[in-house]
Amino acid sequence: MEKPFHSVTLDADKCKGCITCVSRCPTGAIRVRGGKAKILSELCIDCGECIRLCPHHAKKAVFDPLSITENYPYTIALPAPSLYGQINNLDDIDYVLNALKLMGFDDVFEVSKAAELISCYTRELLNAGKLKKPVISSACPAVVRLIRVRFGDLCEHVLPVLPPMELAARLAKKRAMEQTGRPIEEIGAFFISPCPAKVTDVRRPMASETSYVDGVLAISEIYPPLIAKMNKITDPTPMVDSGIFGVSWAGSGGEAAALLDEKYLAADGIEEVIKVLEEVEDEKLSDLDFIELNACNGGCVGGVLTVENPYVAKARLQRLRKYLPVSKNHLSENTDRRRMNWTKELTAAKTMILSDDLGESLQMMAKIDEIYQRLPMLDCGSCGAPSCRALAEDIVLGYANENDCVFQLREHIHTLAKSIESLEDFIPAPFRKELHQNDSK
């Protein structure tokens, strides 16, 4: 099996072993071991919540350096629409697109352009009635991973259409090949990303075998050189080729609004997303057609690789899109829709289940419950697990010991001390005067 990859990683030198990230991780994927946070690979969904929360800045996202573009003779920048919301006083997206070219990219292909095509395709699919409702957006890779790990039975609700980044890379490369005559190997496509989950999605794609994206650059890294170039532009060449629909994908609700179907819900922020998924699971949202979920507050503008407050960024986008047409990209009758579909089936990860055998699983659950009753139920995190219940599970799964609980340990020591105390007056047989033990005192 392929080695797991995660963009979200730990800087061990900075980690103090506190439990801030442990107790807030939405999948309970972090434990403290050896005084440092340890991320459990099979549970991590790369949502970046721990990066946001860590008071010591010990959690970081791995992304590609700008120098990765040097490996390709022809380079294309794929800016996420959330990038536009980072820039103050911007009233024309062309400044950003022109500046990317000045930074050295041979071409720029807006991800919002691909997003508009996906909106178009999703509308068609919804109208055709072939999808299991409510359809859940697949654009946020952290949400899709969350569904795999915690809501496995909802996999069939996930929209089986490529995310905008991936479609943009494919269309951009096709266009570059046609325009330049270069073979595909010479063309590098680089996504300018608001979040680490996209890095993981490129290295370990869920929708297809391989990704057409050759590198993921962080908005926060691109930002300073981009601003420097933008300041040099006075009269930008017209380049923008997407409308309100595409640009609005940057914020929560944008994707859903573009479906022109009022039976939708859009939720953002990982905790709210989890609540909505619980409701879908209990069939409480069966009357909805579409559910847009974004792991970050405010949507992609809230990603941990951005520089601006998500709500400020969203307000700027509202201003920016004011002079844009509704949508500039539409599917034509002869567009091959199949190329926008997932080529891999999304399946539930079995990581949350105790055992494959129901009987054995039940026995383990009985043991977990028994241990849990003995724990203090304070969820203090001193054992390195997110909660007393998680510790009880870890003990039964063999990852922890009951003495890892400081309260249990204290009790244990107390019992030991008592037995030592009771032995204090004990006189071994050779030193006893009497033959009968009870007479020795």
Which of residues 283, 287, 333, 424 is near other proteins by CB under 8 A? 283
195: left (phi over 0), alpha (psi -120 to 50) or beta: beta
Sign of CA dihedral 303, 253, 263, 110: negative
Any contact of residue 416 with other proteins (CB under 8 A)?
A: no
State the Cα–Cα distance between residues 249 and 256, nearest whole angstrom. Answer: 9
Site track for other proteins across 102-141, x = CB under 8 A: ----------------------------------------
State the Cα–Cα distance between residues 414 and 420, nearest whole angstrom. Answer: 10
Which of residues 23, 68, 152, 328 is near other proteins by CB under 8 A? 152
Give the nearest distance from C-beta 355 to other proteins in angstroms.
7
Nearer to other proteins, 145 or 321 (CB): 145
CA-closest candidate to residue 140, choices 129, 152, 148? 148
Any contact of residue 186 with other proteins (CB under 8 A)?
A: no
Site track for other proteins across 363-382, x = CB under 8 A: x-xx--x-------------
Which of residues 318, 335, 361, 437 is near other proteins by CB under 8 A? 361
Nearer to other proteins, 241 or 279 (CB): 279
List of residues 6+ apart from 141 with CB closer than 8 A: 46, 163, 197, 198, 200, 201, 206
Task: Give 296's Cβ-side CA count (13 Å radius).
Answer: 31
State the Cα–Cα distance between residues 328 and 42, nearest whole angstrom. Answer: 40
Which of residues 62, 68, 354, 380 is near other proteins by CB under 8 A? 354
324: left (phi over 0), alpha (psi -120 to 50) or beta: beta
Task: Give 137's Cβ-side CA count (13 Å radius).
Answer: 33
Site track for other proteins across 396-415, x = CB under 8 A: --------------------
Q: Choose one: 10-18, 25-33, 314-322, 354-362; the region binding other proteins (CB under 8 A).
A: 354-362
Q: Which amino acid does the sequence have at 165?
A: M
Determine contact, residues 397/42, Cβ cutoff 8 Å.
no
Which of residues 153, 186, 271, 434 is near other proteins by CB under 8 A? 153
Any contact of residue 359 with other proteins (CB under 8 A)?
A: yes
Residues of this chain, 40-59, that bind other proteins according to CB under 8 A: none
Interacting residues toward other proteins by CB under 8 A: 152-153, 278, 281-283, 352-356, 358-359, 361-363, 365-366, 369, 393
